Structure 1
């Protein structure tokens, strides 16, 4: 992950950004009078679009094709964000840049919402046991004066949106924020949320039914993004990397993963779309497993966007591939 820019760079922009901020309730004429909503992550942008409908203009800060763990706002992003009416972010430590970004926003203009603040989060060690080993190894290396690893660590697992039930809670937070900011369209926001919630309930049922037919409860993934999915459906996630895709396992950790794969007769290893799977590919060769895609949905690729894919179409494909990986009948 890229290192964060020095605080002074953000400070330079603060005065310039705030000078252009209007008061609460003002909208940009370019948006046709719609509420300007920014999101830090694709799933949140999608939920906002579904709930806000014709009343809002939604912008995803992370560009198409960019892995969100590696994203950091540019000066242009901050300038646009300072003119927003609502800014929704994932929380749980996912956006390492969030506090600096908040400092350039006018709270009278922009309502900032943490979508996981009221959700019971899983600890990093619960969803990625290898995370503790990464941190212990890194701490040892630093104490010995070795080069610091460019890893990103989390106290909590931030990948909440991959559990349909918890994702519904995130969506409800977005609904409430839209209503608070724009109460005159409350009924529309409530009705749209109800439709979205029903689809998330159906998705939850699909995962539950697929998992129930599986011959195994263990699956290997290229990075530990699926802890909430595993927790929801009683599965065991075995990640090659930690909670950030940039975390690479040690030789000892790789040996453990290969052992688990062989003991559980794992036939498939799940890869992602926005990150390379060089280390996971090594495991695949060691075990002889075949590749499948399990998309963490941090964002869409340009191809997916062009083909009209969205959160639900990709999650349904995830459910099908997970069933195959679990050897469901």
Structure 2
């Protein structure tokens, strides 16, 4: 009889433990579901949000590091994740094809370009197309790489911070403190560009496409984009166009988004054009972050200009 009572007692004890564990498991699941999710379209915005918020908010940059965030498209599972997120932060200026193609809930979208209206740069010949017998023609477009001017990235960060504090008031203190730190770091980068403006104002550059206009404006430079196709070597027509521009402007430098072929670098050198890589940081760098990489690249740019200004001075003598 005592054994029966013992088994009954054990049975009720086990049932009691199970009842206590299930709600706990449900609470954990509910907590995971309640974790706020913020989706971003590129690395600079990912950097801003991760800098501002604490670990209680999940930041998703759906684009893999080896993909191009301008042309990448999500699969069905990622589309659902994006649409169910609490906030979708876009760049604007038609950056990221998927933003234009997906049906996104407007109430969840923060378009940072709206906060930069007075600072946007529109290029009249942004992209050149050829449509059959009609020949080549160009389209105007807004340059999307705002973050290459740290002053504009500060405005983007302020817009993001304001939205985060409205959506997640519990994060207000964290976001406020971190925004101040971020603005301090970006101010250092801005001062570096202002220094380059003082020392090297009025420089002219080539680039393959409209990428560096905001950086150039901050430094009082101008950029002539060549419409060279990425990942393809220039053809005879491309070289003819460069020669024509060179005859008119005598442009000494070219900015590259990625390291060009050495043969191409030498060909440009023979035409009086020195090359330097300046990664626009649309994807996360292999080492460091936005701040450290911009610092490194601006220092590298300064050294490049020092070397080539000496070379140009020598050639004039």
TM-score range, shorter chain: 0.7 to 0.9
CA displacement at 1:35 relative to structure 2: 2.0
RMSD: 3.5
Instruction: Evaluate the alpha carbon distance shift between residue 201 and residue 215 of structure 1 in structure 2; reply closer, same or farther with a 3 A threshold.
Output: closer
Indicate yes or no: 2:257 matched with 1:272. Answer: yes
Indicate yes or no: 2:275 matched with 1:291. Answer: yes
1:233-269 CA deviation, whole Å, 9 max, x = no partner? 2101122337x84799785554343455575462x43
Instruction: Evaluate the alpha carbon distance shift between residue 259 and residue 321 of structure 1 in structure 2; reply closer, same or farther with a 3 A threshold.
Output: farther
1:157-176 CA deviation, whole Å, 9 max, x = no partner? 11111111111111111101
Instruction: Evaluate the alpha carbon distance shift between residue 221 and residue 254 of structure 1 in structure 2; reply closer, same or farther with a 3 A threshold.
Output: same
Indicate yes or no: 2:102 matched with 1:117. Answer: no
CA displacement at 1:191 relative to structure 2: 1.4
Whole-Å separation in 1 of the counterparts to 2:261 and 2:32: 40
Whole-Å separation in 1 of the counterparts to 2:156 and 2:204: 27
Alignment check: 8 A CA contact 1:163 1:229 kept: yes
CA displacement at 1:289 relative to structure 2: 4.1
Q: Which residue does the alignment assign to 1:257?
A: 242
Q: Which has the higher contact order (CA 8 A, sep 6+)?
A: 1
Alignment check: 8 A CA contact 1:293 1:321 kept: no
Q: Which residue does the alignment assign to 2:153?
A: 167
2:223 to 227, 237, 243: 237
Q: Which residue does the alignment assign to 1:65?
A: 66
Query: How high is the TM-score relative to the length of structure 1?
Result: 0.72
> Could you say what secondary structure the match of 1:66 adopts?
coil
Q: Which residue does the alignment assign to 1:10?
A: none
Query: How many aligned residue pairs are there?
Result: 278
Deviates more, 1:82-91 or 1:31-40: 31-40
Whole-Å separation in 1 of the counterparts to 2:92 and 2:227: 21
Alignment check: 8 A CA contact 1:220 1:270 kept: yes
Instruction: Evaluate the alpha carbon distance shift between residue 261 and residue 296 of structure 1 in structure 2; reply closer, same or farther with a 3 A threshold.
Output: farther
> Could you say what secondary structure the match of 2:70 adopts?
helix
Runs of 4+ in 1 over 4 A off after TM superposition: 27-33, 244-253, 259-263, 275-283
Unaligned runs of 5+ in 1: 1-26
Whole-Å separation in 2 of the counterparts to 1:197 and 1:41: 19
CA displacement at 1:215 relative to structure 2: 7.5
Whole-Å separation in 2 of the counterparts to 1:232 and 1:142: 36
Which structure: greater helix fraction?
Answer: 2
Whole-Å separation in 2 of the counterparts to 1:276 and 1:63: 23
> Could you say what secondary structure the match of 2:189 adopts?
helix
